[in-house]
A and B are shown apart, each in its own frame.
Chain A
């Protein structure tokens, strides 16, 4: 009896780890393969630039999630480490060139990381003494402090114009000059892979597990032998290091570091990306960084009020799906396992139509108001249909889409809810849901 009780669970554990192991390596290898072939498929200069920025944003967002998702620390000043990493990288590149040191460009992000880490080591002990609101407020204060110092200490931060550098002047490695964006992209992709693997591995260490415990219940952690302050401090240093790596990559990409790197907007963006992507899963911030960077690049060219859309998306996610995109995706895992996912798909498709109509109505409304007020009055192009912002036809369409879309969307989402309830009940009966 006893032997049976212990042997059954053990064999199950082995089974799942072998299966999970294969899928696990598969996902990582697929990710690396995508990074390698992306520029071969989309080879325009614009795409390469976008991919490079997305890669940097992913490293940055993952580093932020060491704090937010893993350790439960909400920082409003994470860009400080990113920015200092950027400056450190620029100074290092210039020093390498002027002293003739034999350090090729691919090693530079490491110095960016050390820059971010150094600041975390110095400031972190005091900052991480307390979690919660105290930590958030101090992070905000430190960010302001550093941002204002950056404009005062001209020799270090280069004032308004920043510190510029020339990445092609560094010693060559493998004959690469890193002049072409393609080479820079692969450099970023390389560091992205290294950093992502390192940060994932960190979550699987004793420190990573205890960070989660500190996030959930810092009081109880003290009664299992751990000082939550030390845990938060080490996590903070890792986050600072990888933010610095991201900043170093940005410095290489733009060949400049300036005060904007470590400012509040940058800190806000990384919080935004990480949260939208979902903090509870490792891949969440990756999705968030991709989406936000893509939107940022795409929206700025089609609308003047792209921040407004960011705000709406952020509020929408916070209210409707606090787990972010990753949370939404992972909600479906029990249904996939139980085989009931197909029963909810039709209701999704049905709900998508009025929801899209509602979204179009909102966009028309926002753009009409924004464009009439800014006095430019350029037509709104929505899926190839041009609307004049000053025309009553546009306003009427907007009103109908918003009102009608909202009404029908509510009904159809209720249907989704019902289909969802049925599917989860079955999943629960089949033992795929606690």
Chain B
């Protein structure tokens, strides 16, 4: 079976600085894959490279076997890959409802339609309501997204990401800055919403990572030094030295 995501020998340089060096990563269909690594290792940059936000200097990225490196973000999104952002990236002046609904529109086939009343599209309405219910924001549906609390904005960020029904979901530090209770709630939310999908997640909380992931890749200085099951990663001496050891301090 072809991998959901296949990154082959990707390099990314900003000016003279090589941020991503010979990156190889394979995420199987339906797998929950966590990417861990110290701050500045290039995890978000990796997300940007896969989702088309930036283009690799060299190398190639495949989605379900098709080359997607070089495509634009919306083209990649239309092929079924959706990502969230580490820094909340929502539509601040629009209501929570509008935020999610906009993320539903393309996937339900309405595209740039200017001849349909958006309020009368029942599939769109039902899906939007369902997602608001899923992310526990139904009671905040009319509030402008910019006025939500931090934790609510993070949940909305997840809602927008999954709203289009993408089969490959990438979440960049979805629980960053959340309290312990909020994190727990967010993780069970993620677990439920990505059921049957491929998930790539960047996460710092090791208990979350080891509880959620089928496989883990460790990124250090723009290079994946180890990739394997949680057990393999736990035992890997390179990882212990480079990353987990550091965490233990």
Contacts and interface: CB of A to CB of B under 8 A. Distances in A.
Given A209-B102, A210-B105, A223-B74, A202 B91 contact: no
B138 interface: yes
Interface stretch (B4-12, B34-42, B55-63, B113-121): B113-121
Interface in A201-248: 201-202, 204-210, 212-213, 215-217, 219-227, 230-231, 234, 238
Nearest to A234: B112
A225 B78 contact: yes
Interface in B90-147: 90-94, 98, 101-103, 105-107, 110-119, 121, 129, 133, 138-139, 141, 143-144, 147
Given A216-B92, A222-B73, A209 B112 contact: no
Contacts of B147: 434
Interface in A1-25: 5-6, 9-10, 17
Contact of A223 (B82, B113, B118, B143): B82
A227 B164 contact: no
B168 interface: no
A55 B8 CA distance: 62
A205 B115 CA distance: 7
Contacts of B89: 217, 219-220
B91 A213 contact: yes
Contacts of B78: 225
Nearest to B145: A216
Nearest to B97: A13
Size class of the contact patch on chain A: 20 to 34
Nearest to A219: B89
Interface in B36-54: 51-53
Contact of A206 (B53, B82, B105, B164): B105
Interface centre among B73, B133, B143, by most chain A C-beta atoms within 10 angstroms, is B73
A205 B106 contact: no
Interface in B149-206: 160-161, 163-164
B75 to A, nearest CB: 8
A217 B82 contact: no
A215 B94 CA distance: 10
A242 to B, nearest CB: 13
Interface residues of B, number: 47
Given A9-B138, A225-B78, A227-B74, A220 B90 contact: yes
Contacts of A208: 114, 118
Given A213-B102, A216-B94, A225-B106, A207 B77 contact: no
Contacts of A231: 112
B32 interface: no
Given A209-B98, A225-B78, A204 B118 contact: yes
A209 B90 CA distance: 14
B72 interface: yes
A329 B28 CA distance: 55
B77 A206 contact: no
A204 B119 contact: yes
B83 interface: yes
B166 to A, nearest CB: 9
Given A213-B102, A224-B77, A434-B143, A234 B93 contact: no
Contacts of A205: 113-118
Given A216-B94, A223-B51, A224-B160, 8 more contacts: A5-B138, A205-B117, A209-B98, A217-B91, A222-B73, A223-B73, A223-B161, A224-B164
Q: Which 8 A-B pairs have the closest CB atoms?
A: A225-B106, A222-B73, A216-B91, A207-B114, A206-B110, A224-B103, A206-B113, A213-B102
26 contacts: A6-B133, A10-B129, A201-B117, A202-B114, A205-B116, A206-B105, A206-B113, A208-B118, A209-B98, A209-B101, A210-B105, A212-B98, A213-B102, A216-B93, A220-B90, A220-B91, A221-B74, A222-B52, A222-B77, A223-B51, A224-B102, A225-B105, A225-B164, A226-B112, A227-B72, A230-B112
Interface of B: 51-53, 72-74, 77-78, 82-83, 85, 89-94, 98, 101-103, 105-107, 110-119, 121, 129, 133, 138-139, 141, 143-144, 147, 160-161, 163-164
